[in-house]
Amino acid sequence: MSLIIPANTLASGGYEVDNSLRFNSASSDYLTRTPSSATNQDLWSLSFWIKRSNLGSYQSIYGVYANSTNQETLAFDDSDRLYWQLYQSSAVKGQLTTNRVFRDVSAFYNILIVYDSANGTAGNRMRMYINGVEETSFATDTNPSSGQDSQWNSTTAHTIGRINTTNYTNGYISELVAVDGTALSPTDVGEFDEDSGIFKPINVSGLTFGTNGFYLETKQSGTSQNSSGLGADTSGNDNHFAVNNLTAIDQTTDTCTNNFATMNALAKGVDVVLSQGNLKTVNNRTTSSGNVSADVVSTFAVSSGKWYAEFKLTTTDNYAAVGVVTSDFYPHTSARGYGNSDAVAYRDLDGKKYVDATESSYGADFAAGDIIGIALNLDDNQTTFYKNGASQGVISKTFSGSYYFFTSRIIAGSSTTWETNFGGTQSFTISSGNTDGNGYGNFEYAVPANYYSLNSKNLSEYG
């Protein structure tokens, strides 16, 4: 379970990436483009940054699908390994499947793949780099023959976020760069930070992209296939992608240079289902089992500072709660309250608060449609809950643990749905657009003075 800033997430400094796109399999989100002419199918490179959401299923990052016997994909397989396969005439022509698994749902990976079938060294015809370092340990390592054409840069539809009509991606993708006719190296797309050693992006606008190359910054507004759309190519080639099911709410500021917290797929109750970039939380049980609760905590934990987040209750069958828990909390199975844990929470049914083992009156009850803000002050041992922007009062509690998470709770047998907003992206529509004092985040209600959204830049300054 990731705590604080994940190891490959840059906190501050250098080139800034403004946006990413959030892909959600349940919405069948993808981008597509069909090149008008085939170009170099023997030499090309693709680089992007990705933060995963769901694990344990096949998820295609890109697909080029002519038919069942001629296709190519880069995907995470159902064991969370990275899998790149070229399949033509009913045979595997080239394949790399890593031994490494990719299960960090809290940080961005940079992935660079290079196809160079004319390379005299067979092992260099398909190459894969992760966070600036070449991957060399593979469960499957099948080299294409010299001069073997790939499907990439053909006149077959190229999709981002799926292959054919299956294996949709769940996660955030930014800085998607393709070059036609050039073998890139990691130094073409990134560099190692001199202080932290973390691989970080650099400005790639000066690359020679080639005829079918493109650069998707996903910073435009709108959803059309043109220069103002989410699938816009800003390389100068106008190789724009058509947008399918992605909308303005899927354009996020959660990126590889300012990584925001989400809810943690690795730290949740077995009956919790996450979607929408791990910001929508649903209890999937239909019957109660000992009144056991189902919980999920944030990907980032904090030990000091002042932090703000919003939780929208979308549906409820009572006894839903949100709050703050210590790192000792998960997994937690006591009924209803946050009883035997170093925690503070606010409940929907009757507006009660929980402070450690004590349940008592606190504020107004809340119901579906209400947004609960949490202002966590670890410096002064205070927590304030807000209902639709109105403070319900300051709760004084001594925080004695090492690290604390934001959490949402749903009771077994309920139909509760929580939607979380840490500021980088939302699964519900924001009508106002409030930021924290550093200008980060997008919140429905005003962020209390001197409180901050939970992201890597704020953590480096205030955490």
Both tokens assigned to 360: 């008592």
Q: Residue 265: its pLDDT value, please?
A: 92
For the ranges 40-49, 136-145, 394-403, which has the lowest average pLDDT? 394-403
Nearest in space to 32 (alpha carbons), one of 1, 77, 62, 71: 62
The tens digit of pLDDT for each residue in 249-292 reads 999 999 999 999 999 999 887 778 899 999 999 877 665 555 55
Q: Which fold has domain 20-252?
A: Jelly Rolls (2.60.120)
Read off the pLDDT of residues 313-334 as tens digits, 9 standing for 90 and up.
998 877 788 999 887 665 554 4
End-to-end CA gap in the chain: 19
Distance CA 440, CA 371 (A): 19
Locate the domains of the chain by residue range. Answer: 20-252, 263-462
50-54, 286-290, 335-339: least confident range: 335-339
Residue-level pLDDT at 5: 44
20-252 and 263-462, same CATH topology: yes
Q: Is the dihedral of CA 260, 265, 269, 272 positive or negative?
A: positive
Cα–Cα distance, 104 to 136 (Å, whole number): 20
pLDDT greater than 80 at residue 202? yes
Residues 17-37, mean pLDDT to the nearest whole number: 97
Q: Which CATH class is domain 263-462?
A: mainly beta
The whole-number pLDDT of residue 6 equals: 47
